[in-house]
Amino acid sequence: MADTDDIKSILAADFGSVNTRVILIDLVDGAYRLVARAMTRTTADDPVRDVSVGLFRGLELLTEQTGRALLAGRKDQVLMPEGDGQGVDAVLATASVGQPLDVVVVGLMPDVSVSSALHVLTGSYARVVDTLSLADIRTEQEQINAILARKPDLIFIVGGTDAGAEEPILELVRVVLSAVQIATKKPMVLFAGNRAIQAEVNELLQDATNLFVVDNIRPSLVDEALGPAQQGLAAVYNRFKVNGGGGFEEVSAISKVGVLPTAQSYTHLVRYLGAVARKDHSGQVPGVLAVDVGSATTMAASSIQRRGYTCIRTDIGVGHSALGTLSGTTPGNVRRWLTWDAPSDEILAYAYNKSLRPATVPQSEQELELEYALAREAIRLVVGQAREAWPGGAKAAPPLRPIIGAGAVLAQAPHPGYAALLLLDAIQPVGVTELLLDPAGLIPALGAVGYLQPSAVVQMLDAGDLLRIGSAVCVDGRVRRIGYGGMRVTIKLPGGQVERRQVAAGTLWTYPLPPGQTARVEVKTSRGLSIDGKSSLKLTLEGGAAGLIFDARGRPLPLPRNAEARARLYPAWVAGTQGTIRLRVDEVDQSQVDRDALGTVEIMTGEEKAAESDGIAEIAEEEKPRRRGVFGFLRRTPAPHEEDAGETPASEMMAELEAIAAARSADEVRAPAPAPAAEPAKADSDEMLSELRESTQETGKKRRFRR
């Protein structure tokens, strides 16, 4: 870890496929806060092909915003260290732009060491192009040819327990040596196998190529230690970026941590949030999910039962990889999110054109719908794949709390509620969840900052530098009749004001409770619907930029096949996330709702409607009020036996983070932390909040409406 004693201000840069984001972190009243942020177009592509140019352009924007000089020389150097309120003490860099690492995995046992290696690789931008193991029946000659034909960037060697056999893995190392010696483009080698042969591996390979040696990924048959291999992979990624040129050599030289893969930041943050999560109202430790929808790559990082899972798809996205998204789904699946009957040709043309001009944004409403339809499908595909690895498989989805959305397509949504809708539509969580958004691109920075100043991560999360969209209560069960039944909601505000609302099945509604405010909420569901297996629930929820979202659409979502029905239903959903309900039940042609998604749909009679309401059970459950911030609902010091058996990445950083969180928790019991004095500039958050206030006023006029 870098010497961090004198670091007061940090500049974090994240290099994406379309945008370069820079954020300035500084001490405000003794705590690290996000002070300013800026975004510029990437300069990784033609004509510039130098990411440092984009970095300096971003710094010019930051200087313009803050009045703080950040550039020195001919505006081609970062002003370091900080002095007289100018410059910064440290620069950190993360990147997702560029080609993924092509990796050949070499190991002994496919189910043991090779499996661990693949686990490590899922957390980075890597593509496994071949695997060599003892189960491989190819001759040595064929194995060498296979490595040469694949032209890998990295050969990842694992295998052998620390007290285990040495010769079989050494034989594979010699095969690798032959291939490396012959290869025109020398692949790097990462060795994370039997520690007893590290010296021999060094002797064989260190003169032939860039060699990285770390501790054994499988010290014994039952122990898996992923941390050192993950750190080794981060070092390889940095070298890969530097070797690839394009300005990364310059960026790596000024960054205290080299160039880290952006995905690793998500993995670290989510694992940390998972590790400090506490049991919720249902008695379960909720999972944590972060979804980043990019132009070229979409990733889902999750922590389920305190174990981390990462799924990165470098072929799925809404820009460069729009075609990949369409290949993973169908035009029909995209069409079901649109309010008009778009021909497949039109959907295909949209995806082609978006991949040709990935930085462009929709200007018309129709194109915005298409963009969001692709985004929903991208998230659905990646989260669906991630779910398959979760304990219990895809069908046993645990409660997720929070769900964090990131990526420009979510962060630039017209209002926070719209971003919430996209997440709810694509992930379809059930039960009670919290929705957060990363409009500033903070998460990539947090992962890097964690290496340097773990306390800064905790402080920024606690201060709410991630935008809190709100809490969502989502019913489970199939909605068979849109507009009838649903959930009855009672919201008791601290001032004694009570808000009652019937949220009809198949719709959603948002109560605009601002961030930082809590309310007692009672929800009762109609027959066939439930929340965490119950038909009634009482709990305290915190608001957000959108507020409290009550999603009575059921699961799976009732998506009409008919475009006219969609054209009436979907705007009502969008309006519902802003606290208004435009939908009239008689506007929806129930017969057009997708029966595959929904089951049988019937129009409900008046008597049936009354019976449905009477069927609401009166089972209530109490939940203690929660505190504010990300830690407000997550923080808990886990018991030792609850820790993940496997070593976490950057375990030192994680341990430090948890210790800080625990210490902060103890402090706050004694004396609540004072509110931050001067709020730093956060244009997007402020704007969203002002919009929220406007929509609250608007919604207030309609509150007398009762069904």
Partner 1 sequence: MANYYPDQTTILAQTTIRRERLLPPDVMGRVDVEEGLSVREVDIVAQGVRASRYVVVDLAAHLGTADPDLLAEMIIVHDREPVEEGKILATDKKKKRTVRAPANGIVAQVLGSRIVLHTGLVKEELRANLRGTVVSVRPGRGVLIETIGGLVQGVWGNGEVGFGFLKMEPRDGLSSVEVDEFSNEWRGAVVVVQGSLEQADMARAAAQGMGGLIAASMSANLRRIALKLKIPILLTEGFGSDRMNRLAAGVLESYVDRQVSVIAHEPDRWTPDRPEVIIPTGGDSKTSPPPSRNEPLRVGAEVRILRKPYTGVIARVKMLPRTPQRIENGLRLPVAEVTLPSGRAVTVPLVNLELFGRG
| Closer of 47 and 83 to partner 1 (Cβ) | 47
Residue 78 burial (10 A CB sphere; 0-12, 13-18, 19+): buried
Buried/exposed 474-512: b ≥16 CB within 10 Å, e otherwise: bbbbbbbbbbbbbbbbebbeeeeeeeebbbbbbbbbbbb
Please report how close the Cβ of residue 376 comes to partner 1 at its closest, in angstroms. 17
| Closer of 343 and 393 to partner 1 (Cβ) | 343
Task: Using CB under 8 A, pick the residue from 2, 135, 182, 199 that binds partner 1.
Answer: 182
Site pattern 314..333 for partner 1 (x: CB under 8 A): ------x-------------
Spatial contact of 155 and 106, defined as CB atoms under 8 Å apart: yes
Window of 57-65, 278-286, 374-382, 518-526 that interacts with partner 1 by CB under 8 A: 57-65
Strand partners, 551: 474, 508
Window of 60-68, 211-219, 470-478, 479-487 that interacts with partner 1 by CB under 8 A: 60-68
Site pattern 489..528 for partner 1 (x: CB under 8 A): ----------------------------------------
Task: Using CB under 8 A, pick the residue from 415, 480, 481, 553 that binds partner 1.
Answer: 415
Please report how close the Cβ of residue 145 comes to partner 1 at its closest, in angstroms. 6
Kind of pairing between the strands at 518-525 and 298-304: unpaired
Please report how close the Cβ of residue 43 comes to partner 1 at its closest, in angstroms. 8
Would you count residue 144 as binding partner 1 (CB under 8 A)?
yes
| Closer of 25 and 296 to partner 1 (Cβ) | 296
Question: What's the gap between Cα 116 and its chain centre?
Answer: 23
Where in 581-620 is the site for partner 1 (CB under 8 A)? Answer: none
Give CA–CA dist 371/417, Å, rounded.
Answer: 17
Residue type, 512: P
Closest CA to 157 of 213, 200, 95, 78: 213
Q: Is the backbone peptide bond immediately before 261 cis, with ω within 30 degrees of 0?
A: no
Please report how close the Cβ of residue 131 comes to partner 1 at its closest, in angstroms. 20
Residue type, 441: G
Task: Using CB under 8 A, pick the residue from 29, 141, 220, 666 that binds partner 1.
Answer: 141
Residue located via tokens 């709390």:
401
217: left (phi over 0), alpha (psi -120 to 50) or beta: alpha
Would you count residue 60 as binding partner 1 (CB under 8 A)?
yes
| Closer of 360 and 591 to partner 1 (Cβ) | 360
Closest CA to 576 of 640, 669, 512: 512
Please report how close the Cβ of residue 415 comes to partner 1 at its closest, in angstroms. 7
DSSP letter at 396 equals S
End-to-end CA distance of the chain: give it in Å, rounded. Answer: 60
Would you count residue 685 as binding partner 1 (CB under 8 A)?
no
Task: Using CB under 8 A, pick the residue from 148, 170, 242, 254 that binds partner 1.
Answer: 148
Cβ-Cβ contacts under 8 Å for 589 (sequence gap 6 or more): 560, 562, 564, 565
Would you count residue 366 as binding partner 1 (CB under 8 A)?
yes
Give CA–CA dist 83/86, Å, rounded.
Answer: 5
Window of 59-67, 228-236, 387-395, 460-468 that interacts with partner 1 by CB under 8 A: 59-67
Would you count residue 362 as binding partner 1 (CB under 8 A)?
yes
| Closer of 290 and 347 to partner 1 (Cβ) | 347
Cα dihedral sign, 272-273-274-276: positive
DSSP letter at 268 equals H
* DSSP code per residue over 187-202: PEEEEEE-GGGHHHHH
Please report how close the Cβ of residue 393 comes to partner 1 at its closest, in angstroms. 34
Spatial contact of 218 and 116, defined as CB atoms under 8 Å apart: yes
Would you count residue 361 as binding partner 1 (CB under 8 A)?
yes
Task: Using CB under 8 A, pick the residue from 1, 48, 196, 389 that binds partner 1.
Answer: 48
Would you count residue 61 as binding partner 1 (CB under 8 A)?
yes
Would you count residue 364 as binding partner 1 (CB under 8 A)?
yes
| Closer of 41 and 492 to partner 1 (Cβ) | 41
Task: Using CB under 8 A, pick the residue from 178, 243, 385, 651 that binds partner 1.
Answer: 178
Would you count residue 127 as binding partner 1 (CB under 8 A)?
no
Please report how close the Cβ of residue 207 comes to partner 1 at its closest, in angstroms. 12
Please report how close the Cβ of residue 578 comes to partner 1 at its closest, in angstroms. 11
Please report how close the Cβ of residue 128 comes to partner 1 at its closest, in angstroms. 19
Window of 175-183, 396-404, 547-555, 628-636 that interacts with partner 1 by CB under 8 A: 175-183
Please report how close the Cβ of residue 414 comes to partner 1 at its closest, in angstroms. 3
Would you count residue 243 as binding partner 1 (CB under 8 A)?
no
Residue type, 492: K
Please report how close the Cβ of residue 262 comes to partner 1 at its closest, in angstroms. 17
| Closer of 71 and 503 to partner 1 (Cβ) | 71
| Closer of 354 and 628 to partner 1 (Cβ) | 354
Question: How far, in Å, are 94, 127, 399 from residue 262 at the CA level?
Answer: 5, 16, 26
Would you count residue 706 as binding partner 1 (CB under 8 A)?
no
Please report how close the Cβ of residue 416 comes to partner 1 at its closest, in angstroms. 12
Structure tokens at 700: 């207030």
Please report how close the Cβ of residue 515 comes to partner 1 at its closest, in angstroms. 19
Cβ-Cβ contacts under 8 Å for 92 (sequence gap 6 or more): 10, 11, 12, 13, 255, 256, 257, 260, 445, 448, 449, 451, 452
Spatial contact of 204 and 213, defined as CB atoms under 8 Å apart: no
Residue located via tokens 């949030």:
273
Would you count residue 181 as binding partner 1 (CB under 8 A)?
yes
Percent helix, strand and coil across the chain, each to the nearest 5: 40, 25, 40
Where in 15-44 is the site for partner 1 (CB under 8 A)? Answer: 40-41, 43
Please report how close the Cβ of residue 20 comes to partner 1 at its closest, in angstroms. 11
Would you count residue 57 as binding partner 1 (CB under 8 A)?
yes
Q: Collapsing DSSP states into helix, strand and coil, what is residue 205?
A: helix
Task: Using CB under 8 A, pick the residue from 75, 138, 279, 357 that binds partner 1.
Answer: 357
CA max distance for the chain: 83
Buried/exposed 269-306: b ≥16 CB within 10 Å, e otherwise: bbbbbbbbbeebbbeebbbbbbbbbbbbbbbbbbbbbb
Residue ranges binding partner 1 (CB under 8 A): 40-41, 43, 45-49, 57, 60-61, 64, 99, 141, 144-145, 148, 151, 178, 181-182, 184-185, 296, 320, 344-346, 348-349, 351-353, 355-357, 359-368, 412-415, 418, 687
